[in-house]
Amino acid sequence: EIVLTQSPATLSLSPGERATLSCRASQSVGNYVAWYQQKPGQAPRLLIYDASTRAADIPHNFSGSGFGTDFTLTISSVQPEDFAVYYCQQRSNSLITFGQGTRLEIK
């Protein structure tokens, strides 16, 4: 099983700051990585797939990068509505695993 490790566990920022979230895979997953945003009481929402492609209706201040084992989600300027928990996800051999999540909180 491929393990995804996200860091940091919690990220405290002020609105307008840049957020950088990391996801590391225990072995190469190519570019088969997605990022999800989950707000309290809501289902996760797909933000980024194939490591760097924004899903429909996702603002341009969200971007993804990486290949192989190291991946990054960047929010160029954090907005009040962006404070949430973010999960990375990979697919390998038809099996899916998620990272443990990074909580983005207001500083």
Task: Note the residues at the interface with other proteins (CB under 8 A).
Answer: 1, 32, 34, 36, 43-46, 49-50, 55, 87, 89, 91, 94-101
Give least dist CB 20 to other proteins, A.
20
Give least dist CB 102 to other proteins, A.
10
Give least dist CB 34 to other proteins, A.
4
Q: Nearest 5°: CA angle at 56, between 12 and 49?
A: 65
| Closer residue to other proteins, CB minimum distance, 14 or 42 | 42
The CA R_g of the chain, rounded to the nearest whole Å, is 13
| Closer residue to other proteins, CB minimum distance, 15 or 96 | 96
Q: Which helix (H) or strand (E) holds 29?
A: none
Q: How many residues does the chain have?
A: 107
| Closer residue to other proteins, CB minimum distance, 25 or 34 | 34
| Closer residue to other proteins, CB minimum distance, 17 or 84 | 84
CA atoms of 58 and 91, how far apart (whole Å):
21
CA atoms of 74 and 20, how far apart (whole Å):
5
